[in-house]
Amino acid sequence: MMGVNERLDKVISDPIFTSQLTLMECSSNGLIYPMVGVVLERFSLGILPKIHHKIRRLNLESLSMKRILLAGEYPNLCELGLFNIQSEIFQRLFAEKLSLNISVHRSTFIDGNGLNDIISHMPNLKNFICSIHSNVYIDDLIHLPSNQSIQRTLRNLEKYEIVSYTDYFPNDKIGQCHIFSHSYATNSLRRLTNSFPGGLFKFVHEISLYDEHPFEHEFFVCIAQAFPFLKILTIDNKSSQSKRHCQSSNEDNRNLSIVEYHHLIQLRLFTAHDDYIEQFLLDTKTRLSNDIFLGANYDGLRR
């Protein structure tokens, strides 16, 4: 038995083994059975409590899933495969509340039609929140869908308060569609653009901004209002602020609404034009309540 234990300890320490586990039995004719008996006991009591934090993908048979899932917290689990699960159990587990956070590159945008295909199989769904980024290569598209056309596909989802915006970036040859819920409660949002429609997102603490068109002062007013508890902000924009040259005097700056960030502690401007350093460091434009970590190019700070 000691030899078996030593070999098992070596397997447990193997990161390839522990990152992806299939805990079920598969017959030669393709049938799947749950893990049972001594093997299930050994995994649930002796092995999983030691490696649960390493597991990223887990495949289970439905009859043994409760025992296995209760054996650890699985903080890094990003993919769960459930086999032989009955439709009634699936609807009971997932049908009342569904949260989707998706970022994908594909040949067409994900729109309301794609979401309807998912939701139509969940008749008891009460709470649906999402943040879905889909990117396409512009060269691959004959027709470039407008934001209006994407929004029309969302009409059947109005009760979930879902909005969208669409952008095309000629320099990168990329199109981006972002569909998201006004009630989005996850910690972060990424690649927000000038097309961001605003709203109120109290649970979002980290965002990144990206565009090929400049972010003007009014845009940052909108961002501060939409994310009142923002802590970490990353800006990726190489375009100079076009209105900055019309606001060069102190008198003009005093006419601006001062943008206030009460909780910001990190500002990352490594891939931002120097104008955005000025946008945040001039007290006539922005007021920061905390000492912050600033990441920026040294030459931009010397300007």
pTM above 0.85, yes or no: no
> pLDDT (tens digit, 9 = 90+) per residue, 65-74?
889 999 998 8
> pLDDT (tens digit, 9 = 90+) per residue, 268-298?
999 999 999 999 999 999 999 999 999 998 7
**Average of per-residue pLDDT across 61-81:** 87
Q: Residue 256 in contact with residue 247, Cβ under 8 Å?
A: yes
> pLDDT (tens digit, 9 = 90+) per residue, 92-137?
666 677 888 788 788 889 999 988 887 887 777 888 888 899 999 8
pLDDT band at 3 (very low <50, low <70, confident <90, very high): very low
Q: Which residue has the higher pLDDT, 12 or 229?
A: 229
What share of the chain in percent tops pLDDT 90?
43
pLDDT, position 114: 87
pLDDT, position 30: 65
Q: Tell whether the model's pLDDT for residue 10 goes beyond 90.
A: no
> pLDDT (tens digit, 9 = 90+) per residue, 259-271?
999 999 999 999 9
